[in-house]
A and B are shown apart, each in its own frame.
Chain A
Amino acid sequence: MASLDDLKKRIASVKSTQKITKAMKMVAAAKLRRAQESAEKGRPYSEKMNNVILNLSNGISDKENAPKLLSGTGQEKTHLCVVMTSDRGLCGGFNSNIIKKAKSYFLKILDEGKELKIITVGSKGNDQLKRVYGDKIIENISFKESKNANYFDADKVGKMVIEKFESGEFDVCTIFYNQFKNVITQIPQAQQIIPLNNEGEESSSEESYEFEPDEDEILSNLLPKNISTQIFKAMLENSASEQGSRMSAMDNATRNAGEMVDKLTIEYNRSRQAAITKELIEIISGAESL
Chain B
Amino acid sequence: MSEEFKVEIVNPEKSFLVKDDVSEVVVPAFEGEMGILKDHISIISFLKPGIIKILSKSGDENYYVEDGIVEFKNNNLSILTSTIFNLADMDKSKQQDLLKEAEEEANKTDINDQSKYLADQKVEVLKTLN
Contacts and interface: CB of A to CB of B under 8 A. Distances in A.
Q: Do A and B come from one complex?
A: yes
Interface of A: 38, 41-42, 44-46, 48-49, 51-52, 55-56, 150-151, 154-155, 205, 207-213, 218, 221-222, 225, 229, 232
Contacts of B80: 45, 48-49, 52
Interface string B22-44: 00000001110010000001111
Q: Is the interface of A mostly helix, strand, loop or mixed?
A: helix
A44 B10 contact: yes
Interface of B: 8, 10-15, 29-31, 34, 41-46, 67, 69, 71, 73, 78, 80, 82
Contacts of A151: 11-13, 82
Contacts of A213: 30-31, 45
Given A209-B42, A211-B44, A213-B45, 15 more contacts: A41-B14, A42-B12, A45-B10, A46-B12, A49-B69, A49-B80, A51-B71, A52-B71, A55-B44, A209-B73, A210-B44, A212-B30, A213-B31, A218-B44, A229-B12
B13 A210 contact: no
Nearest to B30: A213
Given A208-B42, A212-B30, A212-B31, A45 B73 contact: no
B84 to A, nearest CB: 12
A38 B13 contact: yes
Given A44-B10, A151-B13, A205-B73, A211 B31 contact: no
A51 B74 CA distance: 14
Nearest to A46: B12
A108 to B, nearest CB: 32
A211 B44 CA distance: 5
